[in-house]
Structure 1
Amino acid sequence: MARVLYTVGRWSFLHAWWVLSTWVVILLTVAGLALGLHKPLSSQFSVSGTPSINATKMLVEQFPNQENPVTASSVTVVFEAPEGHTLSEPETHAAVDRTIDALRTGLGDSITDTQRFGNPVDVDQRLTGQIHSMYGSFGLPEETANEDAQTVRTLSDDGRIGYTSFSIDAGDSMVVTKDQRAIINDAMDQARDAGVRVEAAGSGFGEEIAIEPMSEIIGLAVAFLVLLFTFGSLVASGLPIITAVIGVGIGVLAILLTTAYVDLNNVTPTLSIMIGLAVGIDYSLFVLSRYRSERENHPDDVAAGLAVGTAGSAVVFAGVTVIVALAALSVAGIGFLTAMGLLAALTVLITVLVTLTLTPALLGLCGKKAFAGKVPGVAGNPWRRCRRHTPRRTLGSLWVRGVHRVPGLAIGVVILALGALSLPLFHLQMALPSDATANHGTTQREAADLMAEGFGPGVNAPLLLVVDAAHANPDSPALAPYVNAQRAKAESEGTEFDAQKAATLSSFLYTVDSIDGMSTVKNAQLTGVNEGQTAAQILITPYTGPGDPATVDLSDSLRARTHEIEDAAGIRVGMTGLTAVQMDITEELAAAMPVYLSIVVGLAIVLLILVFRSITVPIVAGLGFLLSVGAAFGATILFWQDGLWGIVGTPGPLVSFMPIFLIGVTFGLAMDYQVFLVTRMREHWIHSGGQASGRTNYNAVEESVIFGFTLGARVVTAAAIIMIAVFVAFIGQPLPFIKVFGFALGAGVLFDAFFIRMTLVPAAMFLLGRSTWWMPRWLDRILPRLDVEGSALGDDPEPEYPRLDDADAPTVPA
């Protein structure tokens, strides 16, 4: 591989304009196709094959004239009368009417599902009246009618809070258009002008999808400064930025083009930008750093080839590791997560290709000025007045020698520190985004809070049961009381008694009574029967909101109870609704996380065995990854879930797919640093033949670790700081998931790069001694060889490794 990459790098350097022109043409072509064919992104998350999705299919089959409650673009508008007033008063009633009229006029025929659409005061009277009328016809007690009427109310008990809801025919996008959103906002202003507070929420009125460019600008600006301190050159500092922007640009435009064929979630392109920028800059940084060292002893074109053949080999392996980790997200079997992983992996693949070709091409275009624009006093550049520059011992050298003196203490501190940070994992809470978890200050969160205040938290977490009773068992003992009551009524009225129809109706009532008797259910009521009277819908209102763990427990209890009902009555029962779908997704993700973690850790060990021809190095790397990702989780939970120190304004459960995605991305990045740092150590070990140089008091293993670390520490530190800056900059994005994910990734890189790769790994290697590079001979023979160190280019002079002062070196037998 090293020789192939050497050829690619040297050819790209010599044919710079061809390479640059090719990438520009690709960028413009993809841009043109994407801008012409892309469709809106969605804020919806769905999983096929879950119980709630199967129940949704049953609902659509039994109620073909009703909208799918999961995919409907529903909108809820909530009104609150001024303090000391009610919505029933003539002035406020008229103000609300103006908003309703503006909605009806502006949206016209696009309004669907109008059962609760209208002035909340009028709708409340109509719905409660229908409940009493229907229950009277069924012969049900007045107490039951009053209880169920209370649940369907659109006006609070004190008359101050009311709501109206409807759906919008928004096509495939499942969100309202900008024009429709403007109509809704203008309509709400009609009531606001009269002093009525108005907020809006619903699946069709989520927060507007917006990508703040300031995050990318901040990330790139910090990256440029770090590169400037790394290379001390204005020109060199700009080259990795250019390659990363082109690579990410092509990747993100390809994602937008994909929306023409596949529905994608709104976080997908932002994740790809975040990950693509970070790895794109870092990969180019590694190649550029190696080119600078190689050109001291070789012509520029050869140096470019050697840089791509050596550092580029590590880039390929690191990139493949990230790609595999992201693509492996598909093992969870969750559609939107698979799309996120595969498209982020596509962006990483493109950045790898751009790095290996465009970086040497830009070096070819720059020629002798690749490191021009030197900044005095930066990165070892002398001040102009200084005639002589005396090399100083680097911080990397000082650090690794300090770790060498106390390796056991270093390992202990890392394990205790990161282990302590991992403790919050034991109370991790996960949920999908909803109005109730939106940022404080947004109209979505304000609407959800008003609904909870006026009607209880459970109004934001309704569950819907679908009952298919076409084959209900007339002889069921559980249905006997209900069937006998209908038989007695038919006999008293002298009408014909149909046992099957009686069993069907009885199964509806039996299901309601069975669910309504559960202590955690506020109310369960029959809300609709299909035309053939063979299926029914039962609305369940819990006491708790969508983010409360008690609601998740209720969902599990309901599933168990519905199985009992099915067996007892001979019917089919499914639970659906947006709340149920979201909880199913959360459970699916939680179940997939251990499997995925096992896959990526196992993958890490296998790949690192192939690369480093060692057993212990991969095991240490894998265990270190678990520590760093655990600490990243813990820190994220402390701030974003628990609200530590009040820094996060809207703490709450973490987005359900954040943990599994964090594992995948952090794993890929962790292996990046492992490869780039340990490759230098392995390179020294191979060139030395496993023998000490005799120039120091270190043994051969210690020399390989210290010298390799000294060479790689500066560039790895720069790469880590760049990644952290890019990720942290995305905390400023409006999408809550991106905020949390940016923080979590930044924490993950911080812990893994500085605590694990630059402390625990070298400390463990010092303690392991020659066992560090041990591998059974039989395994060494059968495994394929991956030349990440560029051994195939061994005809070139041995690198000149930095010397240590013998007086400072510890007295260790050679």
Structure 2
Amino acid sequence: MAEFLFRLGKWSFLNKWKVIAAWLVIFAGMTVAALTLMKPFTSEFEISGTPAIEAVEKLDEEFPGAGQSVNAATVNVVFQAPEGETLDEPQNSAAMDETLAYIEDNLDDRQGTERFGNPLKVSEELQRTVFDLETEMGLPEPTARADAENLAMVSDDRTIAYTTFTFDAESAQAVTEDQRQVVRDAIEVGEDAGVRVEAGGPGFGEAIVINTTSEIIGLAVAFIVLIITFGSLISAIKPVVTAVVGVGIGVLTILTSTHWLTLNDITPVLAVMIGLAVGIDYSLFILSRYRAEYQRLGGPDAAGLAAGTAGSSVVFAGMTVFVALAALVIANIEFLTWMGLSAALTVAIAVVIGLTLTPALLGLTRSKAFGGKIPGLAGNPGWGKKEEPPRSSWRSLEGETLGTKWVKLIQRVPGLVIAVVVLGLGAMSLPVSQLEMALPSDATSGKETTQRQSAELMAEGFGEGVNAPFLMIVDADNVNPDAAPLVPIKNAIQDAGEDVNEREAAGLASYLYTVSQANSLVDVKHAQLVTVNDDNSSAQVLVTPETGPADQRTAETASALRSIGTEIQDATGVSIGLTGLTAVQMDITERLGEAMPLYLSVVVGLAIILLLLVFRSIMVPVVASLGFLLSVGASFGLTILVWQEGLWGLVDTPAPLISFMPIFLIGVTFGLAMDYQIFLGTRMREHYVKTGGSNELYNKYNGVEESVVVGFSRGVRVVTAAAVIMIAVFVAFINQPLPFIQIFGFALGLSVFFDAFFIRMGLVPAAMFILGRATWWMPKWMDKILPNIDIEGTKLEERFEGVDRTKDNKESLDA
């Protein structure tokens, strides 16, 4: 592979205009395709085959059209009276009328208006209707009264009320900005009239707004780091250009694919985050190697050698990230699969761009590739000082750098370094046991948003559970009329003189029995029968929990309801399903949790195989993988403390982490961690292989120790720069308005920080010093069966060892 990449890099350097033109044509073509074919993204998190989705399908079968209500574009408009007043007072009631009149006048195509209107009037009428209907059905008055009160739209103290309607849209994700704006304007009308008005619900969720300053900040920091690394303005531009082109093509491809695929609107955001980070880093690694070779070999051969050596590492590093992201397919969750594949595609594009466009840009600038030098940086002489020629031999080091001093310090106290890293990161991993997961909802929106405030007002006036209702679907087609739990209820129905046959009476009895069993649960505030279909064969039971959608007790309540449903099915023959938006989201969270162990096993296993091929060692992949677990555990722990538990009040919206963040974070972090392992490790192995395991530079170190010191010294500067750039790109996304995007930026930045600076630059070299020759040990039988990839490009470098073409290439470099 090194030979192929050498030819590709050299060809790209010499055929710069062809390469640049080709990428520009591809960029332009993808732009046209995206503008022509793209369709809107969705904010929906849904998967097929879960119990809640199956219950929705059953609901639609028994109550045609009702299944759409689970994802309907419903809006809750919530009112609160001024302090010391109630909503019954004339001026406050009039303010609510004005607010709702504005919605009526500007949204002619509203749906689901049964509960729309001044809640002081609508609530009273609704409660009276429910009470009369249930008493006519023969239900006890206390039961009918409790059911009516549970549907109240005005709080007991008359200070909070709400009304609801549905936008005329196919789903909550199809609501237009114009429709949302009507609600925003109505809020202003009500507040100008003197009452507090907030709005929420699935149809009025926060739109995904991308703050472009995140990318700008990330690129700006990257540019500064690159200037410090290379001491050159021109060289600092190249990785930024290649990253922007790569991410641009990747995002345009994602936009184009929406013509055939339904993609979540977070998909391009994550692709941009990861694409920018790896795109800059991969170009940086190739550019750094080119810098070390071009003075000696001249432009074309230096570009080829950089592509054949550092480029080989880029390919395998990119492969580990690609595998980690593409393996999200294992979770069998549609939206997560496409997120992973989209990000993986962006990474693949970044690799190809790094291997071709970077050498082409070097060919474009030729002898000016590192022009615009800044005195005093990256080895440049200070003002008025003469530049010394660089040392390029693998048998020498360029002075006692900070990286050299650090790795020598580790060599003196490797056990202490391991203890500090393991104990420190291990302690930070402890909060992982407190992990709570949920999908975005009004209750997890930013505290300043009207969605979050509407949910809090609803919870204050009607209890937390009003934001997390469940719907039980009871199918009585196969009910057993002689089932012991149903006989007393069935007999009571028939004795009451109801004109029903035994099977119909048994069906009604099963509905009432289901209600009573659901009400027996401690965390169920109220369960009630809300509707029966035309042939009395199925019913809907509304269950209101005591807790909200982000509370772990709500998930436990859902589990308990399903357990009770199973018991009722076994005892009576009916079938029961649990659904509703809350149940659908909880099923997704549960599926993600179940997929985590398998995903982690596959990703780690595949990465270990790749590292075995790269390093031809047993211990290096093992240490690398164990180190990853420590770094990802610590980043999870701190993320939970800050974003879930609200440590020190650093965030104003502590809430459970978004459900797919852990599995996605593991994939991305693992891929990036292996990047740094490959770039540092190959430098160490390169020296070890070349010296045959002997000590050529330092008499006080053995061969293994010297290879670690030399390899670390040569690779640490560029890896440090790459890590800082990646951290800057990720952390810049904390500037985004949506909390879950902020959390992704925070967690990914933290993961890279821990893995690069604690694991790859601390634990791994310390472990190699302790292991000694066992570091590079591999059983002979395994060594024979594994293909020899030569990722370091050892054979390629042998062709140029001792070659110095500075004079021969001077004219061509200046051409």
Shift of 1:792: 3.4
Letter in 2 for 1:345: A
Give how far 1:392 is off: 4.5
Q: 1:694 to 1:384 in 2, by over 3 A?
A: closer
Residue 57 of structure 1 deviates from its aligned partner by 0.7
User: Secondary structure at 2:115's aligned position in 1?
Assistant: coil
Q: Is the 8 A contact 2:254 2:342 kept in 1?
A: yes
2:737 is matched with 734
Describe the SS at the equivalent of 1:112.
coil
The equivalent residue for 1:150 is 149
2:28 equivalent in structure 1? 28
Match of 1:446 in 2: 453
Structure 2 equivalent of residue 222 of structure 1 = 221
In 2, Cα distance between the equivalents of 1:70 and 1:282? Answer: 44
Deviation, structure 1 residue 595: 1.7
Contact 1:67–1:113 under 8 Å retained in 2: no
Where in structure 2 are the equivalents of 1:45-444 lying within 5 Å? 45-66=45-66, 68-109=68-109, 111-171=110-170, 174-387=173-386, 392-444=399-451
Q: Distance in 2 between matches of 1:375 and 1:794?
A: 31
Shift of 1:72: 1.2
Alignment counterpart, residue 615 of structure 1, candidates 605, 613, 618: 618
**Residues 10 and 300 in structure 2, CA contact (< 8 A), matched pair in contact too:** yes
% same residue: 58
Q: CA deviation at 1:531?
A: 2.0
Residue by residue, what CA displacement relative to the aligned partner does 1:698-754 show, whole Å, maximum 9, x if unpaired? 211111111111100000000000001110010011121110011111110011001
Judged with a 3 Å threshold, the aligned counterparts in structure 2 of structure 1 residues 2 and 392 are, in CA distance, closer, same or farther, namely closer
Partners of 2:719 and 2:461 in 1: how far apart? 55
Hey, what's the Cα distance between the residues in 2 that align with 1:526 and 1:171? 27
How is 1:629-778 mapped onto 2 (pairs within 5 angstroms)?
A: 629-693=632-696, 696-778=699-781
Match of 2:505 in 1: 502
Distance in 1 between the 2:87 and 2:802 partners? 81
Alignment length, in residue pairs? 795
Pairwise CA distance, 1:155: 0.8
Distance in 2 between residues matched to 1:586 and 1:154, nearest whole Å: 31
Aligned match for 1:788, one of 769, 788, 791: 791
Cα shift at 1:799: 8.4
Distance 1:338 1:319 in 2: 18
Q: How far apart in 2 are the matches of 1:164 and 1:407?
A: 66
Q: CA deviation at 1:69?
A: 2.8
Rounded to whole Å, the distance in 2 between the matches of 1:484 and 1:141 is 15
Match of 1:527 in 2: 530
Cα deviation 1:647-679 (Å, max 9, x = unaligned): 111111111111111100000000000000000
Deviates more, 1:142-151 or 1:358-367: 142-151
* Aligned match of 2:554: 551
Deviation at 1:190, TM superposition (A): 2.0
Q: Is 1:483 the counterpart of 2:486 in the alignment?
A: no
Answer whether contact 2:172 2:202 (CA < 8 A) is retained.
Answer: no
Amino acid at match of 1:597: L
| 1:388, distance to aligned residue in structure 2 (A) | 6.3
Q: Residues of 2 paired with 1:250 and 1:602: CA distance?
A: 31
Deviation at 1:89, TM superposition (A): 2.5
Q: Deviations over 1:443-498 (max 9, x none)?
A: 000000000010011111111111111221111111101111122233xxxx7551
> More deviation in 381-390 or 60-69?
381-390
- Tell me whether 562-571 or 29-38 shows the greater mean CA deviation: 29-38
Measured against aligned partners, the alpha-carbon deviations of 1:318-370 in whole angstroms (never above 9, x if no partner) come to 00110110011111111111111011101111111111110001111111111
State the Cα distance separating 1:296 from its structure 2 match: 2.2
Structure 2: how far apart are the matches of 1:415 and 1:799?
Answer: 43
**Aligned counterpart for 2:604 among listed residues 598, 601, 605:** 601
User: Over residues 396-423 of structure 1, what are the superposed CA-to-partner deviations in whole Å (9 max), with x where a residue is unaligned?
Assistant: 1001011011111111111011001001
SS at match of 1:537: strand
- Compute the displacement of 1:387 (Å): 3.8
Paired residues of 1:175 and 1:205 also in contact (CA < 8 A): no
Q: Give the partner amino acid of 1:445.
A: R
> What is the CA-CA distance between 1:76 and the residue it aligns to?
0.9
Cα RMSD, aligned residues only = 1.5
The one-letter amino acid paired with 2:490 is V
Please, which runs of 5 or more residues in structure 2 have no aligned partner?
390-397, 804-815
Q: Is the 8 A contact 1:430 1:654 kept in 2?
A: yes
Using the alignment, how far apart are the partners of 1:759 and 1:174 within structure 2?
A: 47
Q: Does the CA contact (< 8 Å) of 1:41 and 1:173 recur in 2?
A: no
Give 1:364's aligned amino acid. G
Deviation at 1:389, TM superposition (A): 5.8
Residue 34 of structure 2 aligns with an amino acid whose one-letter code is A
Equivalent residue, structure 2, for 1:806: none
Check conservation: 2:403, 2:716, Cα contact below 8 A.
Answer: yes
SS at match of 1:209: coil
Distance in 1, Cα, partners of 2:214 & 2:798: 45
| Secondary structure of 1:342 counterpart | helix
SS of match in other structure, 1:467 = strand
Instruction: From the superposition, tell whether residues 694 and 441 of structure 1 become closer, same or farther in structure 2 (CA, over 3 Å).
Output: closer
> Where do 1:562-581 residues align within 5 Å?
562-581=565-584
Give the 3-state SS of the residue equivalent to 1:40 in structure 2: coil
Q: Distance in 1 between matches of 2:375 and 2:595?
A: 53
Secondary structure of the 1:475 match is coil
1:808 aligns with: none
Amino acid at match of 1:613: R
Question: In 2, distance between residues paired with 1:36 and 1:734?
Answer: 29
Kept after mapping to 1: 8 A contact 2:77/2:200: yes
SS of 1:375's partner is: coil
Residue 583 of structure 1 is matched in structure 2 by 586
Which amino acid is 1:665 matched to?
A: V
Question: Against the structure 1 CA distance between its residues 702 and 799, is the aligned structure 2 distance closer, same or farther, given a 3 Å change threshold?
Answer: farther
After superposition, give the CA deviation of every residue in 1:765-793 in whole Å (9 maximum; x if it has no partner): 11111111111111011112222111231
Give the distance between the partners of 2:171 and 2:505, measured in 1 at CA: 41
Q: What letter is aligned with 1:359?
A: T
Q: How many Å apart are 1:87 and its aligned residue?
A: 2.2
- For the structure 1 residues 152 and 759, does the alpha-carbon distance in structure 2 shift closer, same or farther, using more than 3 Å as the test? same
Measured at CA, do residues 497 and 419 of structure 1 come closer, stay the same or move farther in structure 2, by a change above 3 Å? Answer: closer
Q: Which residue of 1 aligns with 2:393?
A: none
The alignment partner of 1:523 has SS state of strand
Question: What letter is aligned with 1:289?
Answer: S
Change (3 A) 1:166 1:173: closer
Deviation at 1:546, TM superposition (A): 1.0
Q: Within the alignment, does 1:465 sit opposite 2:461 as a pair?
A: no
Q: Measure, in 1, the Cα distance between the counterparts of 2:775 and 2:218.
A: 37
Q: Is the 8 A contact 1:155 1:161 kept in 2?
A: yes
Which whole-Å CA distance do the structure 2 matches of 1:497 and 1:505 have between them? 10
TM-score normalized by the length of structure 2: 0.96
Q: What secondary structure sits across from 1:373 in the alignment?
A: coil
Alignment partners' CA distance in 1, 2:387 and 2:246: 41
Give the Cα separation in 1 of the matches to 2:683 and 2:178.
58
* Code of the aligned partner of 1:125: E
Aligned residues of 1:616 and 1:774 also touching (Cα < 8 A): yes
SS at match of 1:283: helix
Alpha-carbon separation, structure 2, partners of 1:438 and 1:496: 51
Structure 1 residue 584, shift from structure 2 partner: 1.0
Contact 2:446 2:738 in 1 (8 A): no
